[in-house]
Structure 1
Amino acid sequence: MDAPLMSAEAMSAKTASESIEDIEIELLLDAVYRYYHYDFRHYARASIKRRLLQARKQWGYASVSDIQSAVLRDETILPRLLNFLTVQVSEMFRDPSYFRALREKVVPHLRTYPSLKVWVAGCSNGEELYSLSILFAEEGLSDRTMFYATDINPAALRAAQSGIYPLDRVRLFTENHRLSGGHGSLSEHYTADYDRAVFDRTLRERTVFSDHSLVTDAAFGEMHLISCRNVLIYFDRDLQDRVVGLFGESLARGGFLGIGSKESLRFSAHADMFSEFVREEKIYRRNAR
């Protein structure tokens, strides 16, 4: 038997409810920006909505407006909200072929510089930073390289600085490292401590950890490599354009930019600043002009 059709009144109520929810989300994002100066207004709205509804459900609020009221009146709510609005899912040597391409095709060019600057933009909990630091150590470039690891989430930056990860994740990290062309064993770079893997302090000795917003902050230059993977997909088109332009301004001429496998510069207003260097791994090179 066919399910009964939704009545006109019910459909109207559903549409009105969705419209109110969208308005509440817009007001919440505006409030967070005006009061705390965190700007999520140009993040992809579908993704933001999904995360806010997860937060509302988990926290037991009746509406998104209740989240707004809470975060404006209780500053301890903000870090919890940031953990929902920023994506902290990553792994070391994620997409090993990307790191193999850096090792085999980008590093030979980087060797020609007496000193290097590498920016890991949106570093999350630090997995990508440590992957690059290990790669550069294995290629003999550590002593001439400064790393800059940035994120807008203070909790993520603290996690990145600690270099501590659950030991049960290390098997995946180890396999990724092997597939990326890693030299030796990943175990050479960490100490097992009960259920944790503590990565060597030497891997972050030449790293600056900094709060930096791709939405509002200025260029971070002059870099020889910027790795910002799986971040642009969470931005709307205008913000993607802004960030690609920022990366172009932050790179030295001939510098390299690596983005996520599902991301592209093709439709950016600033695409002419770059040339494809390793097409299949989404690695670009800053044009000389």
Structure 2
Amino acid sequence: MKSLPSRTEEIELHLLLEAIYLRYHHDFRGYSVASLKRRLTQARQHFGCETFSQLQDRVLRDEGMVSRLLPYLTVQVSEMFRDPSYFRALREKVIPHLRTYPSLKVWIAGCSQGEELYSMVILFREEGLENRTIFYATDINSTALAAAEAGVYDLDRIALFTANHQKSGGKGSLSDHFTTGYGRAVIDKSLRQRVVFSDHSLASDAVFAEAHLVSCRNVLIYFTRPLQDRAVGLFQDSLVRRGFLGLGSKESLRFSEHAGDFEEFDRKERIYQRSADR
């Protein structure tokens, strides 16, 4: 049996998430409780609140508080060409299928600060598909979206990005796609010409566009099973017949209620193909 303080803290956390949803329509109620509790405890300490109830009071009474809290509620950890073998598999196995379409739409769900988005755009440019592709970059965090659209990264991260790009089968030099100065690297603005940035929640919003490829990596691991099923359902509904879905290295459709709607295209890299029959 849980101790009284532990049970009280769980109730407070539940009420805090309910308050955020009712007041601002951001729905984190289906996120992993253990992960949220850890991150919100950090937020509570940062904002000088002794309890989740005190944090809830500030969220309800200070409209600017929720935007300051979102970085704690959403995980913004990524890198360009993260897991290079995933991008190599896209390049060598998925791109040949996508070449058969006269126009393409790619959805980067949970785009964070844009690292995966620009990795995808660069890959499509290198494979000659950028000019026939529209990229949708979505995230629940408007601050992260603004950072993604700006495309500015610390210069000390570029060595890792470059190594990843080379391992992914990259063509040319990654440095061709950014300029440097004052300790920062700025993504070339031409990489944003075919990108649509949009606020979108996998927890509460609906499908907004048809896609040939959906890449949503290292997002579902923070969701409960029902929310995972909801998100995968959105991907399934958005994908064209025989469209592709890419997940993170620790994510799988094995236990999803939508598993029957997909076929394993590359098991190792967690790439799935939507079945011909819905």
- TM normalised by structure 2 equals 0.98
Counterparts of residues 35-114 of structure 1 (less than 5 Å): 35-114=23-102
Question: What's 2:243 paired with?
Answer: 255
Counterparts of residues 165-244 of structure 1 (less than 5 Å): 165-244=153-232
Question: What's 2:144 paired with?
Answer: 156
Question: What's 1:21 paired with?
Answer: 9
Runs of 4 or more, structure 1, over 6 Å off, are: none
The CA distance in 2 between the partners of 1:219 and 1:56, in whole Å, is 34
Q: Please, which runs of 5 or more residues in structure 1 have no aligned partner?
A: 1-11
Matched AA of 1:241: D
The CA distance in 2 between the partners of 1:277 and 1:257, in whole Å, is 9
Q: Is the 8 A contact 1:93 1:99 kept in 2?
A: yes
The CA distance in 2 between the partners of 1:88 and 1:80, in whole Å, is 14
Q: Is the 8 A contact 1:151 1:212 kept in 2?
A: yes
Matched AA of 2:173: S
Which deviations, in whole Å up to 9, do the C-alpha atoms of 1:98-143 show, x marking residues without a partner? 0000000000000000000000000000000000000000000011
Question: What's 2:110 paired with?
Answer: 122
Which deviations, in whole Å up to 9, do the C-alpha atoms of 1:175-194 show, x marking residues without a partner? 00000000011000000021
Which deviations, in whole Å up to 9, do the C-alpha atoms of 1:197-253 show, x marking residues without a partner? 001111110000001110111113310000000000000000011111111000000
The CA distance in 2 between the partners of 1:73 and 1:245, in whole Å, is 35
Question: What's 1:8 paired with?
Answer: none
Find 2:255's aligned residue among 258, 267, 270.
267
Find 1:142's aligned residue among 106, 130, 137.
130
Which deviations, in whole Å up to 9, do the C-alpha atoms of 1:148-203 show, x marking residues without a partner? 00001000000000011000100100000000000011000000021110011111
Question: What's 1:7 paired with?
Answer: none
The CA distance in 2 between the partners of 1:108 and 1:24, in whole Å, is 51
What secondary structure does 2:268 align onto? helix
What secondary structure does 1:280 align onto? coil
What secondary structure does 1:230 align onto? coil
The CA distance in 1 between the partners of 2:5 and 2:157, in whole Å, is 41
Matched AA of 2:239: L
Q: Please, which runs of 5 or more residues in structure 2 have no aligned partner?
A: none
Larger Rg: 1
